[in-house]
Structure 1
Amino acid sequence: MSNREISGDGTLLTVSIPMAIRKRGSRKVVVSPAGTEPWVMPRPRIDNTLLRALVQAFHWQHKLESGQHGTISELAAAEKLDRSFVCHMLRLTLLAPDLVEAILDGRQPPNMQLQPPVRGFPVEWERQRTNGCWL
Structure 2
Amino acid sequence: MIRGAPIPETVTLHVPFIIVKRGGRKEMQMPDGAVQPRRTDGTLVKALARAFRWKRMLESGEFTSISELAEREGITVSYLTRLLRMTLLAPDLVGAILDGRQGLEVTLARLMEPFPAEWADQPLAFART
Is this a same-fold pair by TM over 0.5?
Answer: yes
| 2:97 counterpart residue number | 103
Query: Contact 2:105–2:126 at 8 Å: present in 1 too?
Result: no
| 2:112 counterpart residue number | 118
| 2:19 counterpart residue number | none
What is the root-mean-square deviation of aligned Cα atoms in Å? 2.0
Percent of aligned positions that are identical: 45
* 2:78 aligns with one of 74, 77, 84: 84
The alpha carbon displacement at 1:112 in A equals: 1.5
Equivalence map 1:1-135=2 (5 Å) = 43-132=37-126, 135=129
Gaps of 5+ in 1: 1-39
The residue identity in structure 2 corresponding to 1:114 is L
CA shift digits 1:17-56 (9 cap, x unpaired): xxxxxxxxxxxxxxxxxxxxxxx97532211111110110
Gaps of 5+ in 2: 1-33
Query: Secondary structure, in 3 states, of the residue corresponding to 1:111?
Result: coil
Comparing both chains, which one has the higher relative contact order based on Cα–Cα distances under 8 Å and sequence gaps of 6 or more? 2
The residue identity in structure 2 corresponding to 1:50 is L
Q: Which has the higher strand share?
A: 1
